[in-house]
Amino acid sequence: MLFFTQCFGAVLDLIHLRFQHYKAKRVFSAAGQLVCVVNPTHSLKYAPTRCAAAQASTEQGILPPCHHHEAVHDPQLVPCTCPLFSCQWEGHLEVVVSHLRQTHRINILQGAEIVFLATDMHLPAPTDWIIMHSCLGHQFLLVLRKQEKYEGHPQFFATMMLIGTPTQANNFTYRLELNRNQRRLKWEATPRSILECVDSVISDGDCLVLNTSLAQLFSDNGSLAIGIAITTSKVHTSEAEM
């Protein structure tokens, strides 16, 4: 009976996932967009990443302790850019993508325009929905986070990070679009580099920000569909023509 119950539960989860994917494809297939169903990553015990902890210490005027016998940190090493609260990995920029795919099993989609379908929006904060987007010869990381910036008032923050340097990030423009029930909301900006840390981007509010009531207007049965498009910036295009 226990074996049957577990198998039956797994089948129900699979049916639910397929149903969500079918609904998304039915809505967006006319536009020829790829759809990726993204399940949430939820943590009951929030442990800030190292870059967030370092930022908080700097804001409070607290410098990290200095020990003469400690090894000097390599400035070329990048901490894990996947905000899963507990990963202490660090490595060079060129191996970040392989770490995200192999260790965190982050899905990656290719194409100029894709649809990011986040499920289970009702889960308590903090919760993350993450996907990689391969486009124009580069990889981007889309992070949707549900977080309480003010106690008792959860908000949704969506941002696109380039897995590259800030100079490379300035060559692109990304657009996030919500479209449902004759309502449309767009956010367009230059992506930030993962070297700048996802946590700092969210704390600065330099991203798409939705309060709970606004997110509910665009959600469908607890799922939120976000259209994603990435283009080269106009400045970069004009310089190439010259």
- Identify whether 211 is part of a domain: yes
- Identify whether 67 is part of a domain: no
In 3-state terms, what secondary structure has residue 134?
strand
48 pLDDT more than 60: no
CATH of residue 89's domain is 2.60.210.10
- Identify whether 23 is part of a domain: no
For a pLDDT cut of 70, what percent of the chain falls above it?
A: 67
224 in Cβ contact with 216 (< 8 Å): no
Residues in the chain: 242
Domain hosting residue 155, numbered range: 33-41+74-232
Q: How many whole angstroms separate alpha carbon 175 and alpha carbon 188?
A: 4
How many structural domains are present in the chain?
1
Tens digit of each residue's pLDDT (9 = 90 or more) over 14-43:
444 454 445 544 444 434 457 788 888 865
The model scores a pTM over 0.75: no
Tens digit of each residue's pLDDT (9 = 90 or more) over 182-222:
899 999 999 999 888 888 898 888 999 999 999 999 999 99
Residues paired with residue 99 on neighbouring β-strands, in sequence order: none
233 in Cβ contact with 170 (< 8 Å): yes
7 pLDDT more than 70: no
- Identify whether 69 is part of a domain: no
- Identify whether 160 is part of a domain: yes
Q: How many whole angstroms separate alpha carbon 177 and alpha carbon 175?
A: 6
